[in-house]
Structure 1
């Protein structure tokens, strides 16, 4: 990079940093300001400017490592990529304007300085976009895996009895996850009765009912019984109006009733001890 630009940034680092923080915060997206405190915003902004400057004087390996760490941090903070790239552009504008005011940029060298700025900023912008995008994709992928694991858990509650509580919308992909977890879990826990609790499923339409029936049929095929819990009145009305046949399934309106039924199916029952409240 042009020694003139490098020297100016080094000598005026603090002024550039303060102006950059002030300008960036004034123009920041509300999403950025809502998710972080002023202190975090300022400290992260300082880190970003230090990162830009480190690209001037640091080694390639050190800069890449710091850039990756920074990208992971801003992804966790929820900063959009446009905010980061705009911040880099703002940094370049501030430096250039300050150099003009200091008369370091003249008519004679203006085009040369602009070319030097382009040669410095463009590769850095491309690298920031690449690292940010890779980090974001990695984060989304990990979150998706975590959500899949949590979307259809099979929980043993008593010996031979397990519960699968379902919350949220059930689509085709999630239905496959439910089926897979059910079959693996029944074998793993040696379940004789499985309760599928749909209390937290907001809408039960033809597709959702079909997936639930398929899951229950699959459980029966491997030797276990299935009870559908959480059949609320509005869901019952929907099922009847859709003409869906649940005669082959045991249903209960609550998980408590379902567990009582499951205990009976495994020759057990809940006994209230004398003196117990």
Structure 2
């Protein structure tokens, strides 16, 4: 039976890929397809069918192909539901094709359906497991990279330091931010610390609470804290949530914040003769 399915897929590979692409696009979320170019989608579709053929052939490199395919679709941003839907659609296309050419008929229908399911189900589980493993690893690496990039206190002038924050702030990141903030204030002997939230997509009650805690901690070690990078939509959210930031110096941009920080440390930016 498997040899019949294998022969059918190999003989009709180009046609099966085109049908698969057409049906997947018809059922997929438009937002997913918007981020995938036609060329990349076509190439990945062929890789998908090659993976299925490798499974049928019990190929020695099936595991490596499976891992490579999982890494690729995760990197491309394909949701797991999109991948599993693709498996279901391909199964249906193969079934319909075998029905059309008479390989599946009334006499062998039940046996063929059972064997098709026996073939597809393990592969479905393997692909899901490979996808989730790759996704978990990718998220972990991204989380580590984000923490390393967005929780450092940077001295920009004598007595003035900046901490740029990027991405979502959860409890774990807030703890790291607090530790780096306090140690940085002491190490750099900062008198004014600017917390830049330009790269924070959402400021809700929890995020504001973490920032307020950080500001309180900075004051306890003898420095002043300023919140900069407050976009109009963030300002509106803060007002709507009733979050009290009165204890902060605030500014809409990092540039304005640095100018104010210089004034707070008895300095200012001046324009010299001949400067542009």
CA pair 230-84 structure 1, distance change in 2 beyond 3 A: closer
Q: TM-score, normalised by structure 1?
A: 0.77
Q: Deviations over 1:236-276 (max 9, x none)?
A: x97xx988884xx8x57542334414654xxx765654444
Q: Deviations over 1:97-156 (max 9, x none)?
A: 211211122222222222221221010000011111111222222222233334433112
1:14 Cα deviation after fit: 2.4
**Unpaired runs of at least 5, structure 2:** none
Q: Distance in 2 between matches of 1:106 and 1:150?
A: 61
Partner of 1:215: 217
Partner of 1:29: 29
Matched ranges for 1:57-136 at <5 A: 57-60=57-60, 62-136=61-135
Checking the alignment, whether the CA contact within 8 Å between 1:162 and 1:191 is kept in structure 2 is no
Asked if 1:8 corresponds to 2:33, the answer is no
Q: TM-score, normalised by structure 2?
A: 0.77
Q: Distance in 2 between matches of 1:82 and 1:131?
A: 14
What is the aligned residue count? Answer: 261
SS in 2 for 1:195: strand
Partner of 1:255: 257
Checking the alignment, whether the CA contact within 8 Å between 1:51 and 1:66 is kept in structure 2 is yes
Q: Distance in 2 between matches of 1:204 and 1:3?
A: 58
Q: Deviations over 1:23-53 (max 9, x none)?
A: 2222222122111122222111111111111
Asked if 1:149 corresponds to 2:148, the answer is yes
Partner of 1:53: 53
Checking the alignment, whether the CA contact within 8 Å between 1:155 and 1:162 is kept in structure 2 is yes
Q: Distance in 2 between matches of 1:55 and 1:129?
A: 15
Q: Distance in 2 between matches of 1:271 and 1:150?
A: 32
RMSD (Å), alpha carbons: 3.5
